[in-house]
Chains A and B, each alone.
Chain A
Amino acid sequence: MQREWTGFYLDGQVANRQRATIQLLPNGLYITTESGKTLSWAYNDIRQTQGFYAGEQVRLEHGGPITEVLLVSDAAFLSGLYQLVPRLASRLHDPSRRRTRGLLTLLAATAAIGIVVVAFRWGIPAVVAFAAPRVPVAWEKRLGEAVVAQIVPPEHRCDDPILQRRLNEIFAALTAPIPRSPYTFQVIVADDPTLNAFAAPGGSIVLLRGLVERTATPEEAAGVLAHEAQHVIKRHSTRALLQHASTGLLVGTLTGDASGIAAFGLDAARTVGLLRYSRDHEAEADAEGMRMVLAAGIDPSGMIAFYELLAREGPAIPGVLEYASSHPSTAQRIERLRALSAGAPAPSINWGDAEEWVTVRTRCRAESQPPSPEATPS
């Protein structure tokens, strides 16, 4: 067994290295440098910081905070050391276990894949289901206000009092049968020609002018409002946000990217604006929206008629309730709405003739620009 080795000694004071001979003793290393200095390092005071991979020199450090260093190029030095002092094999690196390390790495990778799959499939939904009902309404409101302020700044809103009063009446009729809601709803009309609507967490429902103008009757508008109100009540935005955040956290953990998580924190409002509801959430908002319409005594055929309009024009119009595009077919949703409304009692609310609505629904445009006959939807 080789008891004497050569290497280099770095004293931690100057950048020159000195040749050194190292003798393996039962209790420690005895080092003689080329300048004649002799050192005794007890094994318990030695740490190994390099030499874990093929080609790396074995680096032993002693003392601190600025250490002395011993470098030995031949990895067989370690095997020789373990023959003399077997207990060191568990404390320092053992080159003969590199194959095991490879296997353990493979095992870790397999386990990591398993954990990620489980986390995506069950972990995140469980976290969302647990956390969403516990998010204070005040937080939702504050976030929702920030979203609305960003997406629909005040100068892009229609503040026509007649249209606003009419929509508020429709919404009041919808919410009248609801016993008690922690949300204070607010209906906002945005001056935008797109056929779209969305609900911000906390209770703000935004209808774009393009959508209001395409509703043939107040009942159709009521259907849209009921659908959006259910997104708020069922906390779909908050759930989507939690889902997005926990997915981001998981991906950030995988990639070690802290900046992504930080950027999310900086711009939560914009993120909410870009979120899409899941298919389940849409189905729930449809069903609960229809129940809301029926409970209020509003004619359900209005809601169905508007979905039929979406089915006809949906794909052709960019951004049409954009989430609609993630659904295999609007026809299926219409089928479900019909099934839900079948056998409903006759509506108790009658909002008068459709012609009056036709003048009210275009008031937003009348306010923002002079009316032009060709621009009025037929």
Chain B
Amino acid sequence: MALLDIRNVSRRFGDLKALDDVSLSIEAGEFFTLVGPSGCGKTTLLRIIAGFDDPDGGDLLLDGQSLAGMPPEKRPVHTVFQSYALFPHLTVAQNVAFPLQMAGKSESEIRSRVKETLELVHLTDKARQFPHELSGGQRQRVALARSLINNPRLLLLDEPLAALDARLRVQIQGELIALQREVGITFVFVTHSQEEALALSHRIAVMNEGRIVQIGAPEQIYSSPKNRFVADFIGTINLLSVDVREATSDHLRLHAAGLGEITSVPASGVAAGQRGAFALRPEQVNVVAPGDFQELDNHFHGTVRDHLYLGDVTLYKIALDNGVVLEALLTNSLPGCVRFLERGDPVGVGWRREAGVFLHD
């Protein structure tokens, strides 16, 4: 049995369908992420799980028990708010002790649990300080400690890293993964950042316009996006408009207008005559000397239009003969071998048939 079962949940705000028949199961111990652009319904879903909002239709089951009509204070579900919402008049220790006091624990138990939990988030020396005396990263850890201390069945995190600077964000991501593994509590994480979703999660649900578009492991979502929206939202991707010329058990033969044929691996449910897009990640595109295509099943001629040097990698924009621009990502791992391609250089681009996926419209 799943820990949390979301069944056909819908929520409208006036004419807007914030959630449209959403069903989802979250397993115990999972780090589950809801990702999508702003307004996709992910925060609404989180508030419904926490109990701050009620669905217009559908039901939520936690451990098989319906949560309908149960107020937030009664749910064994805690939230880490985007603003952290630390109590400004209470010290770090008093903030962290709050949920235990609400649960009516004894003074001695509260004292020892607060000590343990502050150790867990490395804030023992800040116990007597007030939130305004802490840095952003420390406040974030207090918020985590406060939400974790009485072992909720489910921890909801509402864009908790949004307020931190980039460096700290990466550091806290690492801490979050370690923390979740250590405490074993199920995390439901909401973010609009696909990088965070990929880096943190066991499973990801990609949401758009109130619906769940695709659910899967990060590598699944990244390598086999279900449609144009997911392909475009998660990572960067090249999309070529194609129609299917031939679909056999051995291969797919696609035709890109003005460009030519593309050979790809077979995919279920694809038939000749379908129209769609061929999606190819920039790191799957090889850039070679013109004509030197080796074993690349698909290859085209092009010209370097632009390059973006990022230190570890360089992103090249290569204009193909029909005007389509492909992005190719090359690692700069061997300094001696890197020959920077200049704007206007003629190059060959190609990829193996295993690379890329066909997404039909």
Binding partners A and B: no
| B interface residues with partner A (beta carbon < 8 Å) | none
| A→B interface (CB under 8 Å) | none
